[in-house]
Chain A
Amino acid sequence: MDIALRKKELVKEFSPMMLKPGKWSKIWIAILLALILGGLVAFVVQVTQGQEVTGMRDNVVWGIYTINFIFFLCLSYSGAFASGVLHFFNTPWKNAVSRIVEIITVVSLIVGPIFIILCMARLDRLHYLFIYPRIQSPITWDVIAITTDLIGCLLYLYLTFIPDFAILRDNSEGLPKWRKKLYTSLAIGYRDTPSQRRRLHKITKIMSAMVIALAIITYSVLAWIFSLTLQPGWNSTIFAPYFIVAGLYSGVGVIIIAMYLIRKYFKLDHYIRKAHFLSAGVILLITALLYGYFTFSEYFARWFSHKTHDANLLDTLFNDYFWMFILANYIGILVPIAIVFFKKLRTIKTITFAAVIAVVGLWFNRYLIVVPTQETPYLPIQDTRPEFVHYSATWVEWALSFAGVAAFVLFFMLLMRLVPIIPMSGIIDYEKKGKARRKGLTQQQQP
């Protein structure tokens, strides 16, 4: 097999989706940009008028910004975890999904921290975090962990991009000049020589292990922001593992959704196949069971021992937040389990549907962790103006939340323009290993 020719073929196959934005793609970008613009307007309003424009008040000081922050970070964490595992154990079918996962990891790690910054009222003093650091504060840990994690993930993502940059550089006929230049410099002279290859493989493996460790640390630190306080509902020893399992659950969900959309939009049916969905579905099932188990343990212990303040919290959850609780902790867990559990029900569409429910359910689960606890403190909320008691997000917060989601999708699309969404080097590697493994999932089927 002529590898050079095969590379050319692959570049030819993938370059349309990298180069020519289609009509729909343009419309999508316009919509996303509009959403981001809306978010910018909301941001300006918040900066000029203060956080008065949000729904946060003295009793509930952390609202959906914090929820989005946890949500995006958990995507990143689970992405890093999944991608690290795929690389580290050299999973056979990794090639089709590994790049999607890696991009999700990095993009959500960029979008997530924006929300925690929005939650800080004095953006002009952010640098105080570095000028007057206090090592005891979980926020300091968070700042250190997230920046380290972000650097690690970017480095890792870059490592996985290098072979493809090299292929693109070598087959850049007909590409615009700036792209040629960009690929040449980004490929840093990678020629796929045996020694280069060995070296790259070695450091990619190290970084994949590193990224798993970093993700676990970062997400545990995030869980500790809540569980190290004394508040009923937060002060829980299982919060860190609970957050990690929950993160995996929603992360797998988002990966499935992304796989579905990319497959459908770019018509990559022969790369991202049903088998991928089935495997992802099984992982979704496992994580759903784990997550359900943790959720049950968490609330069951509180309910069974019914300490006054825990009982008050459960009271709030089952009265003021009844439907949200049902949606997040019953539907959000049981429906995906039910769909994926029965073999007959497992189709690409149903698995994606289960993933959507899982992701939405998980967002509401985060809401139920963050907000009701603040509305049910140790001392009853009295002698406070009535409008300060309950939280409901305002348009500013919603606009910025949707802008965050839009930014996530937009970044994703932009990165997809830079490198093929299916790693070409991986396809070639796979083919080089011979066609013995006929059932191999990334095997090329010539159209």
Chain B
Amino acid sequence: MKFNLFTYIAYILLFGLFLAPNVMAQEMNLRDYRMRFRFKTVKQPDQSRMLEASFIAANKKDRKDRLPVYGAEISFFNILEEEKVALGTTKTSKEGIARILLPKDQSYLRDEEGKVTLKAVFEGTDEMDMEEREITVKDVQLSVELSEKDSVQTVQVNAHTLDSLGVAIPLEEADVIISVQGMLSRMVMDEGTLEDGMYEYKMPIDLPGDMDGNMTVFATIEDHEDYGDVVQKKTVKWEVTNISNQENKNHLWSEVAPIWMYVVLTILLAGIWANFAYTISNLFKIKKEGQKLEQSL
């Protein structure tokens, strides 16, 4: 019986191992790591708002050693003085990032200036301390327009906030970045400061758009103390494309060979095989003659 019990335990243990084959604990000392808990909010082009917390442990000695915290539960709140509204809870991804997206018609608690205070909280565990960050942002209306001025495409960025009465107040002293979307990344074209809620940038005329002749221009306000991150984009029909209309010629390296190769090869082979055929046909004639001789003998 004792033996049986032992094997059962062994089986259960083994089974447990199989259940979690890809999770292996490794030796580490938490004290060597500094926790980096960051929180930002981005107002997206479609007016929705993304809340993003990133949670990464960085080795104090080895700069390269960065461990994302995976599966940590992060709760997001909208707070105003004593009031606190839960916006959502999610777990960090393998990159250590927890994200939620708030729809554009989400109603927030605002103070008298119209500012919204958002908070991301990690409750902490036995091993890890609690972390929390708070940001206060004002809702910005950012718009991008592209128009042709003197046959140069000009990007016009407008930004304003709305006061409690719904009157637009142009943004002052906020930096804006103009960039265009590429296949793999966004290319920064210009950085400037909004004046009276406006900024203008002349696009280079030779920059090609995508293969359909479209160009997506982004205007972003990044990490602003009053407005957080705000992104706006606009896609326009761009006349410049760079796709060389290469004729589908037959190359040495293409699937189909240059025509002359087929011609030469055919002539060569036909010539040679004609001779072979002629030779063989003569052999048959010799054979026929031989058969006739045999019959006459």
Residues of A within 8 A of B (CB): 134-136, 141, 144, 148, 151-152, 155, 159, 162, 187-191, 193, 195-196, 199-200, 202-203, 206-207, 210, 213-214, 217
Contacts and interface: CB of A to CB of B under 8 A. Distances in A.
A152 B262 CA distance: 22
A203 B287 contact: no
Interface in B266-296: 268-269, 272-273, 275-276, 278-280, 282-283, 285-291, 293-294
A203 to B, nearest CB: 5
Closest 4 CB pairs of A and B: A189-B290, A135-B257, A188-B287, A203-B279
B265 interface: yes
B252 interface: yes
Given A188-B283, A190-B286, A206 B293 contact: no
B275 A210 contact: yes
A129 to B, nearest CB: 15
Contacts of A210: 272, 275-276
A200 B286 contact: yes
B272 A152 contact: yes
Contacts of B252: 136
A189 B272 contact: no
Contact of A206 (B258, B262, B275, B286): B275
Contact of B272 (A191, A196, A214): A214
Nearest to A202: B282
B290 A135 contact: no
B289 A193 contact: yes
Interface in B57-75: none
B276 A152 contact: yes
A203 B253 contact: no
A135 B290 CA distance: 43
B214 to A, nearest CB: 38
B183 interface: no
Interface size of B as a range: 20 to 34
A319 B275 CA distance: 50
B289 A203 contact: no
B261 interface: yes
Contact of B269 (A144, A162, A187): A144
B294 A203 contact: no
Nearest to B288: A189
Given A188-B287, A203-B283, A148 B293 contact: no
A189 to B, nearest CB: 2
A191 B290 contact: yes
Contacts of B285: 199
Contacts of B289: 189, 191, 193, 195-196
B276 A151 contact: yes
Contacts of A162: 286
B257 A136 contact: yes
A191 B293 contact: yes
B282 A135 contact: no
Classify the interface of chain B: helix, strand, loop or mixed: helix
A135 B261 contact: yes
A135 B255 CA distance: 9
B287 A189 contact: yes
A8 B275 CA distance: 35
Contacts of A214: 272
B279 to A, nearest CB: 5
A214 to B, nearest CB: 7
B278 A203 contact: yes
A203 B272 contact: no
Contacts of B282: 199-200, 202-203
B286 A199 contact: yes
Given A144-B269, A188-B283, A206-B279, A134 B290 contact: no
Given A134-B257, A203-B283, A193 B293 contact: yes
Contacts of A203: 278-279, 282-283
Contacts of A159: 279, 283
A208 to B, nearest CB: 11
Nearest to A151: B276
A134 B256 CA distance: 8
5 contacts: A136-B252, A188-B290, A189-B290, A189-B293, A210-B276
Nearest to A228: B252
A144 B269 CA distance: 9
B262 A135 contact: yes
Contacts of A206: 275, 278-279
Interface string B92-115: 000000000000000000000000
Contacts of B288: 189
Contacts of A213: 272
Contacts of B257: 134-136
A192 to B, nearest CB: 10
Contact of B265 (A135, A187, A191): A135
A148 B272 contact: yes
